[in-house]
Amino acid sequence: MSAQNISLEANHLKAVQTSVSIEKIDGRKAVKVIKSKSVVKDDEATYAKINDVKFKDGIIEVEVLSRLLPDAPEHARGFIGLAFRINDDNSRFESIYIRPTNGMADDQLRRNRSIQYFSYPDFKFTDSRKSSPGVYETYADMALNRWIKLKIEVKGAKAKLFIDNAKQPNLIVNDLKMGADASGFVGLFVDIGTEGFFRNLKIYPAQ
């Protein structure tokens, strides 16, 4: 597969219930995304949408770094990740994101919840914890204020997440809730209390 290097400039991004800006961090440009304070619920459509790329199957790679905002609530975890197969009106999408604070927690249950899959609008993290505890969450080594490489492989109804060039997937989702034939946009996802940074976005569409 040949990569599409996605230009992360303002004219390629649409802020969806977020504020989006281009910033310099570590001397390099990155996209900063912060969730709108008007969105109270978790696992909502809160991302910077790449407005000129459609994606169905293939690979998405990006480097992410998250910090907690000064006014972040107690339950904030530095939530940051990717949304994909976003439909035109942002009413449906798939997402895998990470909780960097959990990767360093002393509480084993929190550590087990470092990575999360959800599907909007009907399969949020609260739904999966009720119906399938532990199936859509797992642990990986991660921390706040550190660049972390995410790679998501998507094929049909299956997705795999690899963190920091891991040989084996850190998370496997065998039943993406939108089904095998869904397609749509890609988004740079954050949730409450997060100052999220993204760089080096590459998309490899399946041939």
* Model pLDDT for residues 96-132, shown as the tens digit of each residue: 999 999 999 999 999 999 999 999 999 999 999 999 9
Nearest to 169 by CA among 160, 158, 180, 159: 160
pLDDT confidence tier of residue 7, bands split at 50, 70 and 90: confident
| Placement of tokens 């998250």 in the chain | 66
Can you tell me whether residue 48 is helix, strand or coil? strand
**For the residues 81-99, what does the mean pLDDT come to?**
98
Phi and psi torsions of 58, nearest 5° = 140, -150
- At a CB cut-off of 8 Å and minimum separation 6, what does 183 contact? 54, 55, 56, 85
What is the percentage of the chain residues whose pLDDT exceeds 90? 93
Phi and psi torsions of 94, nearest 5° = -105, 155
pLDDT confidence tier of residue 67, bands split at 50, 70 and 90: very high
What is the percentage of the chain residues whose pLDDT exceeds 70? 99
Nearest to 186 by CA among 148, 147, 146, 159: 159
pLDDT confidence tier of residue 1, bands split at 50, 70 and 90: low
d(CA 135, CA 140): 15
d(CA 68, CA 149): 19
